[in-house]
């Protein structure tokens, strides 16, 4: 059924693209155009990214820089938008793919036509020139754990949550966390890798159970975006805010109440504003015929000294140092 839907939208997309080619052949500006295509428009994460794209546009007034995205989390709609943009002849695409596999074909066609293609959050995308990642996963996991260890005073029982055991990045994060914790002989990992399925309610129940099983549990390291909300609520309701440490991936706005109450020690994330600017910066360099090399400065905070590795296809993987760990005192700088 879903496949059928996708096919239909493919046909629609092709029709729209064809019409686009016939009617508006020129999107000719003085400068070149860079279009950022996000997963969903209108949600806080990508609204925040748009502020970065706008900043970049202000800094480069001679270029035509915009952000677009589908209104729902639907990879077929995103494909349609990219199709349309390629047909209209945008000079560079900066894509945050909903599903990398779905758009491989259109990205290849875009590159064949001479369009610059940059991606983000898609280190398995084959048809891209440069995929920009905010950070190295191992470094991120280790940093969160270091913050947790600091809060726990380097000793006590701690446990970990992942979205699911099949989630590659989450397993990398907690794996790196475990390695980091090995530095502290006093830290004892108990019942690790609990699955949260990114469901705050389920996470809440599991966190309560863990706290009951280990009354002396001192720390949680969590991975999926909703985990801190479920664990935070369990800690807060148990009156343990400030006594049990919780460091995990989360967004500042939803977590604000729990950060203020002390139920969440710190949240880790990357700032989509900076990621959007970094993607556009890479696209601009490539449009000017430049090269992306190891150690270069993208001119964006957190991406001053990027490391470059070969990607899964012909393109490059670029890692920044764009991780942010925000606590009670600092989260207000990143309200999104």
Where does this chain bind other proteins (CB under 8 A)? 40, 42-44, 72-73, 165, 191, 193-195, 199-201, 204-206, 208-213, 215-216, 229, 233, 237-240, 243, 253-254
User: What is the spatial distance between Cα 300 and Cα 267, in angstroms, rounded to a whole number?
Assistant: 22
Q: How far is the CB of 194 from other proteins (least distance, A)?
A: 5
Going by C-alpha positions, the residue among 170, 178, 166, 282 that lies closest to residue 224 is 170
Q: How far is the CB of 217 from other proteins (least distance, A)?
A: 10
Q: How far is the CB of 290 from other proteins (least distance, A)?
A: 38
Q: Within a 10 A sphere around the Cβ of 24, how many other Cβ atoms?
A: 11
User: What is the spatial distance between Cα 173 and Cα 169, in angstroms, rounded to a whole number?
Assistant: 6
Task: For other proteins, give the closer residue by CB, 112 or 209.
Answer: 209
Task: For other proteins, give the closer residue by CB, 95 or 207.
Answer: 207
Q: How far is the CB of 165 from other proteins (least distance, A)?
A: 6
Q: How far is the CB of 99 from other proteins (least distance, A)?
A: 16
Task: For other proteins, give the closer residue by CB, 73 or 101.
Answer: 73
For 334, the token pair is 């990143």
Task: For other proteins, give the closer residue by CB, 29 or 253.
Answer: 253
Q: Within a 10 A sphere around the Cβ of 335, how many other Cβ atoms?
A: 11
Task: For other proteins, give the closer residue by CB, 8 or 253.
Answer: 253
Q: How far is the CB of 176 from other proteins (least distance, A)?
A: 19
Q: How far is the CB of 143 from other proteins (least distance, A)?
A: 24
For tokens 């905070």, the residue is: 301
> Given the DSSP bridges, would you call strands 316-319 and 92-95 parallel, antiparallel or unpaired?
unpaired
- Concatenated DSSP letters for 174-240? HHHHHHHHTT-TTEEE-S--EE-TT-HHHHHHHHHHHHHH-TTEEEEEE-STTHHHHHHHHHHHTT-
User: What is the spatial distance between Cα 117 and Cα 256, in angstroms, rounded to a whole number?
Assistant: 36
User: What is the spatial distance between Cα 54 and Cα 65, in angstroms, rounded to a whole number?
Assistant: 8
Task: For other proteins, give the closer residue by CB, 244 or 275.
Answer: 244
Task: For other proteins, give the closer residue by CB, 135 or 258.
Answer: 258
């Amino acid at each position: 059924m879903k496949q059928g839907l996708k096919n239909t939208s493919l046909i629609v997309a092709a029709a729209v693209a064809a019409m686009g080619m016939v009617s508006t052949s020129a999107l000719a500006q003085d400068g070149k155009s860079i279009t950022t295509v996000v997963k969903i428009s209108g949600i806080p994460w990508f609204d925040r990214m748009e502020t970065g794209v706008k900043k970049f546009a202000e800094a480069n007034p001679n270029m035509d820089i915009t952000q677009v995205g589908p209104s729902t989390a639907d990879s077929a709609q995103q494909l349609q938008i990219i199709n349309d943009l390629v047909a209209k002849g945008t000079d560079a695409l900066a894509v945050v793919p909903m599903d990398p596999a779905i758009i491989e074909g259109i990205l290849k066609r875009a590159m064949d036509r001479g369009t610059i293609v940059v991606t983000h959050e898609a280190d398995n995308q084959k048809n891209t020139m440069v995929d920009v990642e905010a950070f190295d996963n191992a470094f991120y996991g280790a940093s969160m754990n270091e913050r947790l260890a600091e809060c726990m005073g380097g000793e006590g029982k701690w446990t970990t949550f992942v979205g699911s055991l099949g989630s590659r990045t989450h397993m990398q994060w907690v794996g790196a966390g475990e390695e980091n914790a090995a530095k502290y002989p006093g830290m004892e990992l108990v019942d690790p890798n609990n699955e949260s399925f990114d469901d705050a309610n389920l996470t809440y129940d599991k966190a309560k159970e863990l706290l009951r099983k280990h009354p002396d549990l001192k720390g949680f390291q969590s991975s999926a975006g909703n985990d801190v909300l479920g664990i935070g609520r369990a800690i807060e309701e148990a009156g343990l805010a400030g006594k049990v440490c919780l460091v995990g991936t989360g967004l500042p706005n939803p977590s604000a109440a729990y950060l203020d109450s002390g139920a969440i020690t710190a949240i880790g994330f990357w700032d989509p504003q900076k990621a959007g600017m970094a993607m556009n910066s890479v696209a601009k360099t490539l449009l000017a015929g430049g090269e992306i090399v190891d150690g270069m400065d993208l001119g964006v905070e957190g991406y001053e000294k990027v490391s470059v590795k070969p990607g899964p296809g012909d393109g490059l993987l670029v890692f920044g140092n764009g991780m942010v760990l925000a606590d009670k005192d600092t989260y207000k700088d990143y309200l999104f």
